[in-house]
Amino acid sequence: MDPDELTQRLRDFEYYRLSELDRRGRPFQDLLLEYALGLHRPDLPAPSSVCWFHGTRVAPGANFDDGILPISESLDRIWALLGRIAGQWSSPAKWAAFRANMPGQGAAQYARKLGFGLANGPYAVLVREMLLRPSETGSHDFLSVPEIIEDICMSYEDAFGADLRDAFVKATRPCIVKFASREVGYASVAAAITYVHRTLRREELLLECNTCFDGEGRRISAEAILKVDWPEA
């Protein structure tokens, strides 16, 4: 399709002009693809590779020479970093004891993520802007504090009354790592089309404007990394 025609069709699609029956019974992406482009999801092409954006917060100088690690490989590094930051309140012995016996809601969330492998990752998003505008879609703000670190900080505050979260934020920088993967499918194309539609119409982003990458415990190699970006906090 000619790019100008594609742009016009996506701009012209008006979701709320469709029947209530359609809107209630079918996903937004399916309606957009059918009514704007005359396509269904299986009709979409699968690209040869897809670029993804991993949002995190790391100490200044992090270079990702080891790639992007899953939690199973990076957990000890996370605890070591937080332990150094918490050194202003806790001795190494107290920090080790805290890790062995975390209290409170943060500990429960931490254990749940690790127990079911829900946090192993590494994770990434298709649309970089999603990392910068998490409130629009109700997503977690990974550039502020990654979830597993937030759980540890919450538990530490319960145990010692100290704001480890704030200290972590002050000691680190938001970071976006762009990498390429050949694990692809039409879901990424459907999400990209939805993102373009909402952006052309200057409308708020939807969850359907994005899709996510899950490394399922496998490291993203340094060779796959295309760019390390340091956006302003």
Any idea which of 87-101, 162-176, 178-192, 217-231 has the lowest mean pLDDT? 178-192
Where are the strands (E) in 29-172, listed by range? 50-58, 123-125
pLDDT in tens, 82-101: 999 999 999 999 999 999 99
Residue 64 DSSP symbol: -
- Residue 43 pLDDT > 70: yes
Residue 203 DSSP symbol: -
Tell me how far apart the alpha carbons of residues 172 and 10 are, in angstroms, rounded to a whole number: 40
- The one-letter code for the residue type at 9 is R
pLDDT at residue 119, rounded to an integer: 67
By the 8 A CB rule, do 168 and 157 touch?
A: no
pLDDT in tens, 16-37: 999 989 899 899 999 999 999 9
What's the pTM value of the predicted model, to 2 decimals? 0.88
pLDDT in tens, 118-144: 568 899 999 999 999 888 878 888 899
| Both tokens assigned to 71 | 């939690």
pLDDT at residue 118, rounded to an integer: 56
The size of the chain, in residues, is 233
| Both tokens assigned to 172 | 């680190």
Range 60-77 burial, b when 16+ CB lie within 10 A, else e: eebebeebbbbbebbeee
